[in-house]
Structure 1
C-alpha cells in the first residue's frame, strides 16, 4: 500500500485540506485500508481537533472495507482509496479499473453475500458513482459526529 497525505504545511485549519490516499494492489490490503481509515480519523480528532464519534469511526471502516472489497473482487488491477474531511463528514472515494457500475440488489433474506452496497447506502449520508475515462469512482459520505437527534446516518428524518 502506497500512502500520500495532503494538507501539510498550511497555517489555517479552516484552509487546510485534511485528506489521505493509498493505492491498493492486493486483497490482503483490505485490512490495511481499514487501519488507514482508523488512523486517519484518530488524527482528524487528535491533530485537527474535529469530533469523531465512535459510530463514525466504525461506519467509515465498514464503508472502506465494503468499497475496497468490491473493487478488489470485481475489477482487475489496483484500486485507489481516498479519505477526505469535508462539510462535517468523511468522504470515502474508491477508484477501480472496471467501468461496470455497481447496483444495489433487491432485498432477499435468502441471499448469502452481495449486500455490501446495500449496507453502504444504509449508513452513509450520500453515495455517488461516476464513470471515469478509465474505470469508475464510488464516493460515500459518512458524518463525523452523531446527529443531535441521534439519527443513525446524520440525517434528519421527517
Structure 2
C-alpha cells in the first residue's frame, strides 16, 4: 500500500478538505484498505470533532472492502482509494484500470459471490460509476451520523 498522509503539507485546517488516499496492489492489502477507512473516520471524530456513528464506521469499512476487493479481482494493476468528508458524509471513491462497467445483478439466493455492488448500493446514500480516461471510478457516499431518533442513516427502504 502506498498511502498519502491525510492533509500533509496543505493549507490551514479550516480551508482544506478532510481527505486521505492510498494505492493498493495486492489482495492482502484489502484489510489495509479497511484499516485506512477506520483510522480516517476515527481521526474525523477525534481531530475534527465530527460525529461518526458506529453504523457509519462499519458501513464505510464494508463499502471500502467491497469496492477494493472488486477492483483487485477484476482489474489489472493497482487501484486507488480516496476518502473525503463532504457535507456530513464520507465519499468513498475507488479507481481501477478496467473499462468494464459493473452492474448490480438480479437477486439470486443461490448465487455464490458477485454481491459486492449489491451490498454497496444497499448501504450507501448514493453510488455512481464514471469512466475515466483510463479505467473507471466508483464512488459511494455514506452519511456520518444517524439521526437523533436513532434511525440509521443511509438509503431508506421503498
The answer for unaligned runs of 5 or more in structure 2 is: none
1:51-130 equivalences in 2 (<5 Å): 51-130=51-130
Quickly say closer, same or farther: Cα 1:155–1:114, change in 2 above 3 A. closer
Match of 2:41 in 1: 41
Number of aligned residues: 157
The answer for unaligned runs of 5 or more in structure 1 is: none
Q: Distance in 2 between matches of 1:132 and 1:54?
A: 33
Match of 1:136 in 2: 136
Q: Which ranges of 4 or more aligned residues in structure 1 deviate by more than 4 Å? A: 155-158
Structure-2-length-normalised TM-score = 0.92
Structure-1-length-normalised TM-score = 0.92
Q: Distance in 1 between matches of 2:83 and 2:31?
A: 15
SS of 1:28's equivalent in the other structure is: helix
Quickly say closer, same or farther: Cα 1:153–1:121, change in 2 above 3 A. farther
Asked whether the 8 Å contact 1:78–1:96 carries over to 2, the reply is yes
The structure with the largest helix share of the pair is 2
Match of 1:11 in 2: 12
Asked whether the 8 Å contact 1:41–1:57 carries over to 2, the reply is yes
- Give how far 1:32 is off: 0.2
- Give how far 1:4 is off: 1.0
- Give how far 1:11 is off: 3.2
Q: Distance in 1 between matches of 2:59 and 2:157?
A: 19
What RMSD over aligned residues (CA atoms) do the two structures have, in Å? 1.7
Of stretches 126-135 and 142-151 in structure 1, the one that deviates more from structure 2 is: 142-151
Asked whether the 8 Å contact 2:76–2:97 carries over to 1, the reply is yes
